[in-house]
Amino acid sequence: MVSEIDVISAIINGILVGSIYSLVAMGLALIWGVMDVINFAHGDYMMLGGFIAYALYLAGLDPLVAVPVAFGAIFLTGVATQRLVINPVLEAPLVSQIAATFALLLMIRYGAEAAFGPYTRLVKVSYAETIHLGGITIFVPQLIGFVFSIFVALLLYLFLTRTYVGIALQATSQNREAAQLLGINVKRMYDLAFGIGVGIAAIAGVLLTTFYPLFPEEGGFFTLLAFIIVVLGGFGSVFGSYIGGLIIGVVETVSALFITPSLKDVVAFIIFIVMIMVRPTGLFGKKE
Amino acid sequence: MEERILEVRDVVKRFGGLVAVDHVSMDVYRGEVLGLIGPNGAGKTTLFNVITGIYKPEEGTVRFKGMDITGLPPHQVAKLGIARTFQLVRPLKNFTVLENVVVGALQKSPNLGDAVEKSLEILELVGLYEKRNVASGSLTLVEKKRLEVARALALEPELLLLDEVAAGLRPKEVDALVDMLREINKRGITMIMVEHVMRAVMNLSHRIVVLHHGRKIAEGTPQEVANNPQVIEAYLGTGVE
Amino acid sequence: LLRQRGGGEVTEIKVGVILPLSGKLAETGADLRDGIEFAVDQINSQGGVKACGGVPITVVWGDSAGKPETGASEAERLITQEKVVALVGAYQSAVTKTASEVAERYHVPFVNPDSTSPALTQRGYKWFFRVTPHDAMFAAQQVEFVNWLNQKFGNQIKTVAIIHEDSEWGSKVAEAWQQAFTQAGYQVVKVVKYHAATVTSLDSEVAALKAANPDLLLVAAYVQDAILLVRTMKAQNFAPKAVLAQDAGFITPSYKEQVGADGWYIFSREVFNWDLLEKISRLKEVNDAYKAKYGKDLNGNSARDYTGMWVLYYALEEACKKAKPSDLDAFRSALRDALANLNIPGDKLIMPWRGVKFDANGQNTLGQGIVVQMMEDGKYYTVYPEEFATKEPVFPMPPWTERGG
Amino acid sequence: MAELLKVENIEVFYGEFQALYGVSFHVDEGEIVALLGANGAGKTTTLKTISGLLRPRSGRILYEGRDITHTPPHKRVEAGIAHVPEGRGIFPWLTVMENLKAAAYVKRARERFEETLEFVFSLFPILKERRDQQAGTLSGGEQQMLAIARALILRPRLLMLDEPSLGLAPKLAYNVIMLTKQLRDEGYTILLVEQNVRLSLKVADRAYVLETGRIVKEGSSAELERDPMIRAAYLGM
Amino acid sequence: MRTGWSEIARQALSLPVLVAAFLLVVTPFGLYLADLPFIANMMFLSLMYAIAAMAWNLLMGYTGQLSIGHAVFFGVGAYTTMILVVYYDVTPWIGMFVAGAVAALVGLGLGVPFFRLRSHWFTLATIAAGEIFKLVFNNWEYVGSSAGLQMKIVPEGKALYYLQYAASYVYIYVALLVLAIELVVLYRIVTSREGFYLQAIREDELAAKTLGINTFKYKMMAMGISAFFTGMAGALYAVRYHFVEPAAVFDVITVSTYIAVAGIIGGIYHFAGPIIGSFIFLPAAEYVRVTIVARFPRLFGLHVFVLGVVLLVVSLFAPDGILGWMEKRGYIRRRRVIEV
Ligand SMILES: Nc1ncnc2c1ncn2[C@@H]1O[C@H](COP(=O)(O)OP(=O)(O)OP(=O)(O)O)[C@@H](O)[C@H]1O
Ligand SMILES: Nc1ncnc2c1ncn2[C@@H]1O[C@H](COP(=O)(O)OP(=O)(O)OP(=O)(O)O)[C@@H](O)[C@H]1O
Ligand SMILES: [Mg+2]
Ligand SMILES: [Mg+2]
């Protein structure tokens, strides 16, 4: 029934889609790691990135031009959000933090819906072509997205582990007071973490828009996937999130081959539950 | 004094390549105070963690009152009668001092009135009675340590493990603490005390065990240990009280 | 509330309308509302309900927010507080289920112009009347259409595959298809079901369909997944001889605008299409007036709700002959009987139907759908039934590699 | 000698609770000053206020003659104030080496990082051995060493140590306190809070005594060592 | 330390409680007389959410475990009631309690893996569980898949057995009954030793463990009870609307999140917080929806956006909810377990 080539094809497609999940999850992991805040609105920043790409597309530019633009714009939006919304609740109990980012979700998602309308948009890029490799088909925009995502992931990894600012970011995540005593401007670190985190999500949104329909509510499912991926990859491990994203992508496409596709998300969720049972720290995680 | 309340036999605990506790055996007799000292990183806290069930040792056994408790979960160990304090204090922050103690006391006296009464008594003993209605998050470090002791006592343990409770105290405060612990010991509670403050260990311990690099290097009366050249070399050095 | 004028006469006839005016389907809800509003305007300007002395119809709106529980509570409010003579609505089958249940209990007629789940008219309700055809009827008609294609183009379609989203709508449509096509002797080689709310890729789904190599692909999809499906089919170069969709995603303005050349030659079942203007004389007139007022053409949703309101009007005229609106219970009951006995010929409607006549379950038996196909100007044209067709169908669908665009 | 730090009349509150009542004192360049006081007297509070973790409700803090009362903590570090907090405050999930690197975030530290690192490792060889161990799994005493090492990496002008010997084995405790003398000789200025009063008076030039939030005594170490009240309360005699 | 019945009776007979109870009992009848079904429905929904939010708060406010997956229990409760009456002809009067029990079993089943997790992780796991349940019910033929189940209309003589009334006022009394049972049970728990332990777990689980508390056991207990009453709230949904479908009863936003938001707005550290929160949040959300849809029919997401703004304001300026804010202002006092 299911041929080998189908499976290989599914794995490749899973990796391509998964690489976008990975980006979204990495941003989430960064924010979560540094600030100990779960950003429920994460996928909605991604959606905003998509709309920026769409706007440039309407202006006659290639949506990929939006990668730096969206990153910049959403980075600044993220910094503003951090200062106005996140910072005031940082010391508050978990539940008010979640309430605050959930409020952000409602405001961004439905604000966008009110502003742009709930309609679906589609971007048509000139390179929307398919490569055929002996029965395996690869959609070029997805391939480009994959390359971009690797590039962004690598940059982020080097930034976090090889630069003093990166290490300072990690330090802040573990002990705010001690970080201050080492001359680290904690507020700036939070700005950076939140800005970069949602900025990366926005990049994912841009890449996604080159091959996936764009609509204001699209972020919800991606946020949910990002949660799963961060747990799967392991807390505080940006690298883990990247791999986690690919795994979930592959799990979804491959399981769609073998079971009824409407249950493929269940497989992803079950993997998540199994993961927390056998290894609550995730694949590459350090911290519970 | 001959009943062995705790028997540690050949316990080994490794972290990766590091052997934090290396074939340690020791006995604790009912009613005594056993000092456990050694340089930083010698494995003292790790040994406590093994005894209280937070870590499972790779090798060896721990017996409490003759019963094998190796690898039991922490709450069961606590139920059996072993209480401990943490080197890094962990009070229940939004609870008042009294409430913190009552949580422990309820284990043995399910009736709230009794538990409160007992807790107040314990707070008096550790000198926190005045602060009973204060949120425990706002105590000073030293007070938090006393609270740790109080909470442990509330469990009515037979064996009490103290991890550096005298740290940060001035000599006078150390003496007060020693008096307090001696009083507790007199009530029949056996203790193991990990401590770097010699004023406390030397005054209180009946016997002392010395760990170094995870191994037991000496055991004896405070006097014997203090004069042991190996202990002086590795641990005491010269010049400190 | 039937406002009393002096000695027990009424000044208006109140009708409750429940629609998804907020929530996910608010966009559709707005269309539906315009259709109803426009029908009521027309009815009132031509003299209201004449048999009741020319009183106008007033609509009291209820917003279901797309939720069954809100639909039910709105139904109760409209019935007991607003004292409407009948209810119209409620688009989503789940909402229609709970709202019509309330109506049934209170003995209030419920006219449903727009829900297509077959189950709605299998409940044995006495007060429920569905004007639109349902999915099983559509499925039967789609089999007829495929038979007709086979006749015309030489029996090219033998195997069928189905892909559908997994909500009530998609699942029930697929069920009906499977039954109808199997019964008609076609071989259903693959059924793929996906979850629309979370679908980010249809790669594996399309691969599975392609592996089954069907002659005809039947699709029930919402808009995002419809676009994604077409894209993925193109990417994987999967081109069955024909693709026949069940309206929904495939007929939304977003889809038509965005999908472009990739959507050419795809068939969709519809209830209504712009080119019917040329075939249905009444329609052109109505549509012109509607466009003048709302700045847009009628579509399948607004046209059906428009029609539903007119159907209710015809029944009201009959009911007024039997009972007085001031006696609410008697009037509702008379209205129910009038609906049950209604027989409206097709030429009085703007829909491509043979008429309106309800069976014992309250289902209109004279309704039907049409089949449209997107041609190279990006517009849909009616290709079936022949009496409404404006173009010949293009069949088989040319492979992806042989198209411009 | 120039005045490096001057604390003027600070009043500090935790919510409604007043912890410091008009505390004033000064530390001159090149001095070791000890801050003594019983449990809860307000020593930690004082240090936290100087490093900026707490804000005084009134009063001023001058550093190098500039008013830094409203300067954020990280700016004070940049200006050369280092504070080893009570209870360590290491970064548990970073390795020992990364902990040290995190301290090299400010420019003044980064420039001489390699050099300072050598020095720090010579002081605490165990840290060099454990450079790739996660700091959170270090023993209590090892964490204390790491905290001190990190402050040294900062190359501060003013080093504030809050109970540095806490949890250290006697031998090491002695060494750490003696270290302050060596540091002073290299040009550091030191403000020391230490429960081992005898030893701190041995290394300090001057000392202040805090009691329930007020300075009640000050003087040279020698004077205070002779003071009968100090002998009774802090030296255990 | 368990609160005696006399103490509960004393609390129950205190003036504010009596006044509130009186109003609750009289209002529906008044609404009936005044013919205000819309408000009656609001009242029913507020009660239904209050029951779920009170249950949710046993886990959140008392045990420190934030669940955004309570739709699981709500949905399971709703379906259980419905399956029993549709397939087995069991009266909802019994079905409701079976629903609670089944939901509790599900809660315990989920507790085993989930309580290995702390804080955020637990929360995420509950969200995932909500999604799984929705998808599974969506695909499960026996329970009608995505179409759900609807009760048949029964002859009027059987109304009491099948709890089928045209007028919705009746259901308010059913909900009140469930709420009353819940209040008594929860009050007894939170003022007992177990309740005290739950709060100790909330403060610091490891510390609680070393104080001899079997934290897993107590968290499971809280989960079971919480799931039980949330299941009953779901049962009330089924009873009231005679209909269940996965999209409605397993919804992350309108069920899981609304329950949590109602609790947060009321104040999670107060016993009555979730009730107050439900009675404010639901009507307010409904009011906002109705007015905004009327004013700006073309700005589709606007009313949800406004809800977002309100929630943000609450979480920034009154993070401990309405009762928490009142406590800070000194209008009310939180009752401590022990006061000496
Ligand atoms: N989880 C762990 N992983 C790796 N190494 C560990 C871990 N826990 C402890 N160690 C190491 O094991 C050794 C023993 O640690 P332990 O905490 O038992 O020392 P200690 O005797 O209590 O020292 P101190 O007096 O400084 O508190 C230390 O060198 C420490 O770094
Ligand atoms: N976070 C806090 N909230 C409320 N009160 C506090 C807080 N921290 C400290 N205090 C109070 O402030 C006073 C001074 O505390 P501080 O920690 O400065 O004392 P200290 O001299 O450092 O004592 P120790 O020798 O115990 O470290 C104490 O009475 C303490 O209870
Ligand atoms: Mg230790
Ligand atoms: Mg201090």
- Residue E200 structural domain: 5-251
CB contact under 8 A, A6 and C211: yes
Cα distance between residue C299 and residue A75, in whole Å: 42
Q: Give the tokens for residue C82.
A: 């607003």
**In chain B, count of helices (H) and strands (E)?**
9, 10
Residue from E1, E211, E334 to probe the interface with B (highest B Cβ count within 10 Å): E211
Indicate if the pLDDT at residue A236 is higher than 70: no
How close, in Å, is residue A223 to chain E by CA atoms?
11
> What is the distance in angstroms between the CA of the first residue and the CA of the last residue of chain B?
30
Q: Give the tokens for residue C169.
A: 């709508």
Other beta carbons less than 10 A from residue D227's beta carbon = 16
Cα distance between residue A211 and residue A205, in whole Å: 10
The answer as to whether A279 is a domain residue is no
Strands C344-345 and C355-356: antiparallel
Q: What is the pLDDT of residue D237?
A: 61
* D18: Cβ contacts below 8 Å, ≥ 6 apart: D11, D12, D213
Q: Starting from the CA of residue B140, give the closest ligand.
A: 2
Query: Which value, in Å, is the radius of gyration of the alpha carbons in chain C?
Result: 22
CB contact under 8 A, A168 and D102: yes
Mutate to test the pocket of ligand 1, among D93, D139, D168, D176 (most ligand atoms within 8 A of CB): D139
> Whose CA is closest to B199, among D34, D202, D85, D198?
D198
Out of D99-103, E30-34, E207-211, E229-233, which region has the weakest mean confidence (pLDDT)?
Answer: E30-34
CB-CB neighbors (< 8 A) of E72 in chain A = none
Q: How far is the CA of B90 from the centre of ligand 3 (A)?
A: 15
Q: What is the pLDDT of residue C64?
A: 92
CB contact under 8 A, D89 and A178: yes
What mean pLDDT is reported for chain C?
91
Q: Does E293 touch chain C (CB under 8 A)?
A: yes
Residues D115 and D209 in one domain: no
Q: What is the DSSP letter of C398?
A: P
Strands C216-220 and C159-165: parallel
**Protein residue whose Cα sits closest to atom 17 of ligand 2:** D44
Q: What is the pLDDT of residue B103?
A: 87
Residues 184-223 of C with CB under 8 A from E: 193, 195
Q: Give the tokens for residue D133.
A: 């161990």
Q: Does D52 touch chain A (CB under 8 A)?
A: yes
Cα distance between residue C101 and residue C119, in whole Å: 13
**Ion ligand 3 neighbours, Cβ < 5 Å:** B 45, 87; D 140
Q: Which secondary-structure segment (H or E) carries D86?
A: none
Q: How far is the CA of D141 from the centre of ligand 3 (A)?
A: 7
> Whose CA is closest to D34, among D153, D175, D159, D201?
D201
Q: Starting from the CA of residue B170, give the closest ligand.
A: 2
At residue E266's C-alpha, the angle toward residues E192 and E272, to 5°, is 30
- Judge if the upstream peptide bond of residue C90 is cis by omega within 30 degrees of 0: yes
The answer as to whether D25 is a domain residue is yes
User: In ligand 2, which atom is closest to the CA atom of D163?
Assistant: 27
How close, in Å, is residue B39 to chain D by CA atoms?
5
CB contact under 8 A, D74 and A287: no
**What backbone torsions phi and psi does residue A213 show, to the nearest 5 degrees?**
-60, 150
Q: Starting from the CA of residue D141, give the closest ligand.
A: 1
Q: Give the tokens for residue C292.
A: 């003048």
Q: Region A214-237: what's the mean pLDDT?
A: 86
- Judge if the upstream peptide bond of residue C385 is cis by omega within 30 degrees of 0: yes
The percentage of residues in chain C with a pLDDT greater than 90, rounded to a whole number, is 70
Chain C neighbours (≥3 Cβ pairs under 8 A) are A, E
Q: Which of A215, A221, A260 sits opposite C200 (nearest CB)?
A: A221
CB-CB neighbors (< 8 A) of D109 in chain A = 183
Indicate if the pLDDT at residue B176 is higher than 90: no
Cα distance between residue C86 and residue C76, in whole Å: 12
Residues D145 and D188 in one domain: no
| Phi-psi label, residue C219: left if phi above 0, alpha if psi -120 to 50, beta otherwise | beta
Q: How far is the CA of B163 from the centre of ligand 1 (A)?
A: 13
Q: What is the pLDDT of residue D1?
A: 59
Q: What is the pLDDT of residue C330?
A: 95
Q: Does B82 touch chain E (CB under 8 A)?
A: no
Long-range contact list for E36-39, CB < 8 A, 24+ apart? E36/C81, E37/C73, E37/C76, E37/C77, E37/C80, E37/C81, E37/E167, E37/E168, E38/C73, E38/C74, E38/C77, E38/C81
Alpha helices (H) in C23-167, listed in sequence order: 26-45, 68-76, 93-106, 135-153
Residues 128-147 of B with CB under 8 A from E: 132-133
The answer as to whether D86 is a domain residue is no
> Model-level pTM?
0.86
Residues of chain D with pLDDT under 50: none
Q: What is the pLDDT of residue C404?
A: 60
CATH of the domain at E141: 1.10.3470
Residues D236 and D165 in one domain: yes
CB contact under 8 A, E301 and A89: no
pLDDT digits (tens, 9 = 90+) for E216-269: 999 999 999 999 999 999 999 999 999 999 999 999 888 998 999 999 999 998
Residue pair C284/C277 in contact by the 8 Å Cβ criterion: yes
Dihedral sign for Cα B69, B75, B81, B83, please. Answer: positive
Q: Region A183-204: what's the mean pLDDT?
A: 95
Q: Region C314-332: what's the mean pLDDT?
A: 94
Chain A neighbours (≥3 Cβ pairs under 8 A) are C, D, E
The answer as to whether A273 is a domain residue is no
Q: What is the pLDDT of residue C8?
A: 58
Residues D76 and D1 in one domain: yes
pLDDT digits (tens, 9 = 90+) for E269-313: 899 999 999 999 999 988 888 888 778 877 778 888 988 998 899
Tell me the C-alpha to C-alpha distance, in Å, between residue A168 and each of A172, C119, C326. 6, 62, 79
Q: Quick one: closest CA in C to E294, which residue?
A: C21
User: In ligand 1, which atom is closest to the CA atom of B40?
Assistant: 26
> Whose CA is closest to D52, among D15, D81, D95, D17?
D81
pLDDT digits (tens, 9 = 90+) for C107-127: 999 999 999 999 999 999 999
Residue D145 Cβ inside 6 Å of ligand 1? The answer reads no
The answer as to whether E141 is a domain residue is yes
Other beta carbons less than 10 A from residue E335's beta carbon = 10
Residue pair D134/D92 in contact by the 8 Å Cβ criterion: yes
Percentages helix, strand, coil for chain C, rounded to the nearest 5? 50, 20, 35
Cα distance between residue E128 and residue A262, in whole Å: 16
CB contact under 8 A, C68 and E243: yes
Cα distance between residue C357 and residue C364, in whole Å: 5
Other beta carbons less than 10 A from residue E136's beta carbon = 15
CB-CB neighbors (< 8 A) of A213 in chain C = 223-224, 227-228, 258
Please report which confidence band the pLDDT of residue B177 belongs to, taking 50, 70 and 90 as the band edges. Answer: confident
Q: How far is the CA of E101 from the centre of ligand 3 (A)?
A: 47
Q: What is the pLDDT of residue E4?
A: 62
Q: How many CB pairs under 8 A join C and E?
A: 98
Indicate if the pLDDT at residue C303 is higher than 80: yes
Please give all residues whose beta carbon lies within 6 A of any atom in ligand 2, as ranges: B 138-142, 168; D 14, 17, 19, 37, 39-45, 86
Residue B42 Cβ inside 6 Å of ligand 1? The answer reads yes
Q: Which amino acid does the sequence have at C362?
A: G
Provide the 3-class DSSP secondary structure of residue A279: coil
CB contact under 8 A, C204 and A215: no
Please report which confidence band the pLDDT of residue A288 belongs to, taking 50, 70 and 90 as the band edges. Answer: very low
Q: Does E167 touch chain C (CB under 8 A)?
A: yes
- How far is residue A71 CA from its own chain's centroid? 13
The answer as to whether D85 is a domain residue is no
Whether D contacts C, i.e. 3 or more CB pairs less than 8 A apart, is no
- Provide ipTM, 2 decimals: 0.84
Into how many domains does chain E fold?
1
Residues D73 and D177 in one domain: yes
> Whose CA is closest to E298, among A21, C163, C33, A154?
C33
- How far is residue A234 CA from its own chain's centroid? 15
CB-CB neighbors (< 8 A) of E113 in chain A = 273, 276-277
Cα distance between residue A4 and residue A135, in whole Å: 10
- Residue A52 structural domain: 4-217
Into how many domains does chain A fold?
1
User: In ligand 1, which atom is closest to the CA atom of B87?
Assistant: 27
Residue pair D12/D56 in contact by the 8 Å Cβ criterion: yes
Q: What is the pLDDT of residue C7?
A: 45
Q: Give the tokens for residue A88.
A: 């005031």
Cα distance between residue C92 and residue A264, in whole Å: 26
Q: What is the pLDDT of residue C3?
A: 44
Q: What is the pLDDT of residue E3?
A: 56
Residue B212 Cβ inside 6 Å of ligand 1? The answer reads no
Cα distance between residue B198 and residue B202, in whole Å: 6
Residues D62 and D103 in one domain: no
Into how many domains does chain D fold?
2
What mean pLDDT is reported for chain A?
89
Mutate to test the pocket of ligand 1, among B45, B52, B194 (most ligand atoms within 8 A of CB): B45
Residue D220 Cβ inside 6 Å of ligand 1? The answer reads no
Residue pair A198/D138 in contact by the 8 Å Cβ criterion: no
The answer as to whether E266 is a domain residue is no
Q: What is the pLDDT of residue B155?
A: 87
Task: Let me know if E311 is exposed, middle or buried by CB neighbors in 10 A (0-12, 13-18, 19+).
Answer: buried
How close, in Å, is residue E74 to chain A by CA atoms?
19
How close, in Å, is residue D87 to chain A by CA atoms?
10
Q: Does B88 touch chain E (CB under 8 A)?
A: no
Residue D138 Cβ inside 6 Å of ligand 1? The answer reads yes
CB-CB neighbors (< 8 A) of A167 in chain D = 94, 98, 101-102, 105
Residue pair E257/E86 in contact by the 8 Å Cβ criterion: no
Q: Region B42-53: what's the mean pLDDT?
A: 92
For E128-161, the DSSP string reads HHHHHHHHHHHT-GGGTGGG-EEPPP--GGGHHH
Cα distance between residue C231 and residue A141, in whole Å: 12
Q: What is the pLDDT of residue A133?
A: 82
Whether A contacts C, i.e. 3 or more CB pairs less than 8 A apart, is yes
Dihedral in degrees, nearest 10, Cα atoms E8, E13, E14, E20: 110
- Which of D104, D122, D155 marks a domain boundary? D155
Cα distance between residue C383 and residue C380, in whole Å: 9
Q: What is the DSSP letter of B235?
A: I
Q: What is the pLDDT of residue B233?
A: 86
The percentage of residues in chain A with a pLDDT greater than 90, rounded to a whole number, is 51
Cα distance between residue A207 and residue A203, in whole Å: 6
The answer as to whether D87 is a domain residue is no
The answer as to whether D101 is a domain residue is yes
Q: Which amino acid does the sequence have at E329?
A: R
Q: How many CB pairs under 8 A join B and E?
A: 78
CATH of the domain at D172: 3.40.50.300
- How far is residue E15 CA from its own chain's centroid? 25
Residues D22 and D118 in one domain: no
- Residue D131 structural domain: 92-155
Cα distance between residue B190 and residue D150, in whole Å: 39
Q: How far is the CA of D140 from the centre of ligand 4 (A)?
A: 17
Indicate if the pLDDT at residue C211 is higher than 50: yes
Indicate if the pLDDT at residue B240 is higher than 50: no
The residue among C223 and C37 whose pLDDT is bigger is: C37
